[in-house]
Structure 1
């Protein structure tokens, strides 16, 4: 059994940023566990630029962005283990991991969940039809092309206008493939507007909204897909079917936080984000287990992932130092539990993070709207009174909205209500 102050599960942008900030906060006993062969997470395969404008003030590729933090990890000599898979996590913060050298057991004072997210698959959205080769999620296709130099197809249909899907539409076009179109079941694009412009419009790739794949045809290899229009209830409209010959179907239909370890530890999940429920300290419902990045909520910019992880690191450092002080004074480490009020939303807001607040700390409230809106205002309400308002010319589900809220205007022990007026 190995004993460590902090175990960070995941060596991607969230885990790396948390580790570096923890070190700078004076926490030295840190261990990063990463299941891949290299640190960096998903950024290793994101060779396009556009990263880092918020965090570093310059545009970087994914590998360049990750390397900024990897260099800091190496500089500080923060311990990490790669090629290791965490297979167990309990409420007592005991981590069990499988490595080529055997099973590792680590007892931590605090655990940081930074496992990221995974893609929805064909099975998750129940597309009917045959099961030929040539159907990929966007991230898998990206990994084949950018990490292994394998071209996945030539005649391509993309289902879903998520950011990775649109980026792959451009990437495959640049590599000589013919992308026949991007089809989106919603009546609006689900990715960032800049990707619609730079990845689709700039290359003449059509985006068709309110359309979905209703059949997949082919024996050994994909031969065609059938695409239909959908109504306002997302149901295919009979008579609108059109068959598109193709050898490749790429799915970009949403991301889900990697929550198996969270559930294993008894962490409560938010039904809306599918990630852990946290308070303003990024602490989950299990004391000493914290979460940040795409395992907590799916972000549209990696800069926000890193910044969220750095906020988490401040809370973890405070937690560890409080525990060490209690040990030195031979007192009980856990104080009386703070009262946490709920953050509640109206029907126009899909979710908020954090989900609970004490009213004693500054918070950065993150949220998304359920549908595109223009000339709207987000109101924060306590006790029936508007305590803060943010006016916006437009709000779209693809862009996370962040509102800093000072503790001075928050009331303790009272729910915070979030409403959108438009």
Structure 2
């Protein structure tokens, strides 16, 4: 058997980092934190625009922090700096560019499988975010235009005719941000942007009223086609239009296949867990936005990490 870690955590977002740090502060050692991307908090890095406001009380949801990680309102940049600092100040082994393939329960421990090898741990916490698997449209994207269809602002170069698809906070922020250097349209299947927070509702209304963003509301997209290398969008109730780029911001999906392969049960699209976030597999926990109805609250993720750390400490006494 290889070295036995006390705690293995999959996903280095707020909930994963909080679980590691709160556990360390409670005296737990031999903690390893896996992240498939190149750094922690990849969702914030990829899906938050520069200088995006990051609030503790996400969407106005008041959350009292339970643990010893004191998180306050800030921006994308200050939030990343904050997590850099708390990771640097505690002995947590962070393994980036490492994707966990599955988890198997053995006799009193877990085997965590990664590419070409595995590690063993007494406890495992899964904190994979929904945005690690962004929702994609039901229709196929033709291969010849895939480079012009994305789920983040990566690849946007300015001076383009861009369609943003979605009606939540990310979609609005993408549209408003891109409107400074592009001709921007936003397509949403509903007539209003009521899902978005009040600030973003105000921003998109202002952008539309000043003709900086053109809305296509109450309309569904049927399919995409190639139009001489550009993206031809086929709508259900209006004539097709062609764009240089299409960006989807339509949320994320629970990683059901991974959860199932690890023996974790799901109900209503969420993993089953108790008040301590322990799943039906004893010693295997879930935390972060895969446990939440709408996801996204950093403060709730921090509280999940604290609750799990406290429960593990109790089990070890």
TM-score (structure 2 length as normaliser): 0.82
- Compared with structure 1, are the counterparts of its residues 66 and 206 closer, same or farther at alpha carbon in structure 2 (3 Å cutoff)? same
Alignment of 1:90-105 (within 5 A): 90-92=104-106, 93-98=110-115, 103-105=116-118
| TM superposition shift of 1:306 | 4.1
Once the two structures are superposed, the pairs formed by residues 320-399 of structure 1 within 5 Å of their partners are 320-322=313-315, 324-325=316-317
The question of whether the paired residues in 1 share the 8 Å contact of 2:233 and 2:241 is answered with: yes
Matches of 1:4 and 1:276, distance apart in 2: 24
Query: What is the rounded CA distance, in whole Å, between the counterparts of 2:276 and 2:158 in structure 1?
Result: 43
Q: In proportion to residue count, which structure has more strand? A: 1
- Any gaps of 5 or more consecutive residues in structure 2? 58-69
2:272 is paired with a residue whose SS is: coil
Distance of 2:158 and 2:114 partners within structure 1: 33
1:12 Cα deviation (Å)?
A: 1.7
SS of the equivalent of 2:7 reads strand
The question of 1:60 aligning with 2:60 is answered no
Matched, 1:116 2:109: no
- The CA distance in 1 between the partners of 2:25 and 2:281, in whole Å, is 25
Unaligned runs of 5+ in 1: 229-239, 326-422
Match of 1:308 in 2: 301
Q: Which residue of 2 aligns with 1:4?
A: 5
Higher-RCO chain (CA-CA 8 Å, sequence separation at least 6):
2
Structure 1 residues 312 and 59, CA gap change in structure 2 (3 angstroms): closer
- Per-residue deviation, 1:253: 2.3
CA distance, structure 2, for counterparts of residue 206 and residue 56 of structure 1 = 37
Q: Which protein shows a greater Rg? A: 1
Which residue of the other structure, out of 263, 267, 276, is the alignment partner of 1:266? 263
Q: Distance in 2 between matches of 1:6 and 1:171?
A: 40
CA contact (8 A) 1:10 1:114 kept: yes
Quote the residue 2:36 is aligned against: 35
**Alignment partner of 1:132: what SS?**
helix
CA shift for structure 1 position 119: 1.0
CA distance in 2, matches of 1:24, 1:57: 20
What residue in structure 1 maps to residue 205 of structure 2? 201
Taking the aligned partners of 2:27 and 2:273, their CA distance within structure 1 comes to 24
**Corresponding position of 2:67:** none
Select which of 166, 170, 180 maps to 2:172. 166
Length, aligned pairs only: 292
Distance 1:311 1:53 in 2: 14
TM-score, with structure 1 as normaliser: 0.63
- Residue 142 of structure 2 corresponds to residue 138 of structure 1: no
**Residues 255 and 298, structure 1, Cα contact 8 Å, conserved in 2:** no
Q: What corresponds to 2:103 in structure 1?
A: 89
* Inter-CA distance 223–96: structure 2 relative to 1 (3 Å threshold): closer
Alpha-carbon displacement from aligned partner over 1:226-247 (angstroms, at most 9, x marks no partner): 323xxxxxxxxxxx32222321
Distance verdict in 2 for CA 1:286–1:152, change over 3 Å = farther
Residue number in structure 2 paired with 1:213: 221
CA distance in 1, matches of 2:271, 2:158: 35
Q: Residue 343 of structure 1 aligns with which residue?
A: none
Instruction: Choose which of 277, 283, 304 in structure 1 pairs with 2:278.
Output: 283
2:267 is paired with a residue whose SS is coil
CA distance in 2, matches of 1:127, 1:202: 34
Aligned to 1:155: 161
SS in 2 for 1:255: coil
Aligned to 2:62: none
Distance 1:169 1:80 in 2: 34
Q: 1:378 corresponds to which residue?
A: none
Kindly indicate whether the alpha-carbon contact (under 8 Å) linking 1:8 and 1:113 is maintained by their aligned counterparts in 2.
yes
1:228-239 maps to which residues of 2 (within 5 A)?
228=236
SS at match of 2:51: coil
